[in-house]
Amino acid sequence: MKLLRYFLFLFILCLGSVAFGQSSSELKRRKEALTREIESLNRSLNQTSSSKNLSLKQIRALNAQIRLREEKISTINSEVRLLDNQISDNTNVVRSLQAQLDKLKKEYAGMVLFAFRNQSSYSKLMFIFASQNFNQAYKRLKYLQQFSEYRKKQAMYIEGTSKDLNIKIEQLDRNKQEKSNLLSDQEKERRTLGVQKNSKSKVLTGLSREEKKLKQELSQKQRESATLNRAIANAINREIEEARKRAEAEARAAAAKAKAENKEAPDAKPISRGSSILAATPESAKLSSDFLGSRGSLPWPVTNGIIIEDFGNHTYGRNVTTENNGVDIKTAPGSAVRAVFSGEVAAVQNFAGSYAVLIRHGEYFTVYSNLRTVSVSRGQKVTLKQNIGTVITDAVDGTTEIHFEVRKGAEPMNPAGWLAN
């Protein structure tokens, strides 16, 4: 039973170490990814700030960098909490192993003392020959043999427990050192975050002083956004109208066929005038269901990128606000754009030198704008991760950003909840 408890104890220790290793590795990978994204934004900020011209892109990059650094600090906090739990577990294990080792040593010392007192062959023989009968003599002989074997096992237990104890003590020391390093890293990140927030405050002050210029820049962006939204709405309404007409034509055809065959016409179902008509056919309904089922796991429209502006309303300065119906993703110059799900190209629009692509996935749509080139056309079927074009690079500040949206019918949805983390 002692041997069974010993191996069960080791098994539980191994399971705990494996679980800790998996969680720790995931946090480290996330922290490294955040560090790479922050460094990329640093290069971008250095590029935009060197022009000495304050712009929305600069403050957006600062906002994204602050958000990423806060997320990195949160990740470090998670690592510290995980290490605290591991340190606590390992401390308990060390105490348990130490107590077990002390007990084993005490038992072994008692056996050694007994063996020393009865070490002569004469004493062993007298112990056996003093038996009252043969059966008792046999049991005493077996007892001496088992006692010798048990003493050897106890020595093995002591040796094994000592090794486990040393391993756990070393692991505990590593945990404490790692925690110390993480706390230093955390303090460094907090100081840097403070510097970045001060930098943002200065930029915002500069933006406030140049509010007139900023509003002009914003007005241009809003005009571009409004043009894109109208084009998207028109394309989606066209898809809805075409689907409605097809449904009405199919209903008339079914009624005419029933009349020609002197059969009772099938019950006419009301035809929706909303976006649900886009999922009226079994094929479209399945595509809609599959797209919805992929929420949270869709691939990004570019292989490498950082969200530079989130979905929703944003305020810059005191009186300047913007609304984003999707997310803006900073990526590398010349990056290929890919479809995040299989579907059909509903529209390709040209906006004064850049393109936007609208892909239908049943009742859902994805939008990819700020493209330099496009390799698909309206009505074309596309597959998951198929390249549909390349991102354009701003000729003034050298930034490369793609605008991406997810819509249910014409209603914008937050793409961050759809894309894989």
DSSP annotation string for 300-362: PSSSS-EEEE-SEEEEETTTEEEEESSEEEE--TTPEEE-SS-EEEEEEEEETTEEEEEEEET
Residues of the chain with CATH 2.70.70.10: 213-417
**Beta-carbon-side half-sphere exposure of residue 19 (alpha carbons within 13 Å):** 10
Q: What class is the 213-417 domain?
A: mainly beta
State yes or no: pLDDT of 127 exceeds 60: no
DSSP H helical ranges for 132-210: 134-209
Indicate the average pLDDT of the chain. 75
Main-chain dihedrals φ then ψ at residue 262, nearest 5 degrees = 55, 40
Give the whole-angstrom CA distance, residue 371 versus residue 353: 9
Q: What value does the mean pLDDT take over residues 231-260?
A: 79
- Reported as type and span, the H/E element at residue 383 is none
- The pLDDT value recorded for residue 122 is 47
Residue 272 burial class via C-beta count within 10 angstroms: exposed 0-12, middle 13-18, buried 19 and up: middle
> Between the CA atoms of 321, 407, 338 and 352, what dihedral angle is there, to the nearest 10 degrees?
-50
Give the whole-angstrom CA distance, residue 359 versus residue 361: 7
- The pLDDT value recorded for residue 101 is 66
12 or 243: whose pLDDT is higher?
243
Most confident residue range from 42-51, 53-62, 276-285, 331-340: 331-340
Position of tokens 């810059």?
Answer: 316
Main-chain dihedrals φ then ψ at residue 309, nearest 5 degrees = -145, 130
Give the whole-angstrom CA distance, residue 274 versus residue 283: 18
Q: What value does the mean pLDDT take over residues 353-371?
A: 93
- The pLDDT value recorded for residue 346 is 92
Q: How confident is the model at residue 79 (pLDDT cuts 50, 70, 90)?
A: confident
Tokens representing 30 are 């996330």
Could you give the 3-state DSSP secondary structure of residue 370?
Answer: strand
* Distances in whole angstroms, Cα of residue 23 to Cα of each of 26, 84, 144: 5, 13, 50
- The pLDDT value recorded for residue 280 is 77
Per the confidence metrics, is the pTM higher than 0.85? no
